[in-house]
Amino acid sequence: MSLNQCNFIGKLGADPEVRYTQSGKMVCSFSIAVDDGYGEKKRTEWVKVVAWEKLAEICANYLHKGNQCFVSGRLQTRSWDDKDGVKRYTTEIVISNMQMLERKEAKPEPEGDCPF
């Protein structure tokens, strides 16, 4: 038996990046800062996160740099050859669940004529 499941709570280090596969599937990538320990022993790990299709759309539309969120998914390592032919690797969390942990700021009402 095996289990590949990861759960993290962290803050986004930058706005999510969106791209599309050749077949047109949406992919959203971002990194979250996850703290470990406390006081002088506190350290931060950066976790790469990837969302696909509908969840990618939700992440791209609602997450921004500095937002805190919970993500759950599976660990995946993939490889590719860079432009110089060197094999590169990255490890990321392919998420199946994301929950925003901060309320989105309400947009201010536009100024102007108010019918009331």
Q: What is the mean pLDDT of the chain?
A: 89
The pLDDT value recorded for residue 51 is 97
Instruction: For the chain, list residues with pLDDT below 70.
Output: 103-116
The pLDDT value recorded for residue 72 is 98
Q: Percentage of the chain surpassing pLDDT 90?
A: 80
DSSP for the chain, please give it: -----EEEEEEESS--EEEE-TT--EEEEEEEEEEES-GGG-EEEEEEEEEEHHHHHHHHHH--TT-EEEEEEEEEEEEEE-TTS-EEEEEEEEEEEEEE-SPPPPPPPPPS----
Q: Which residue segments constitute the domains of the chain, with CATH numbers given?
A: 6-100 (2.40.50.140)
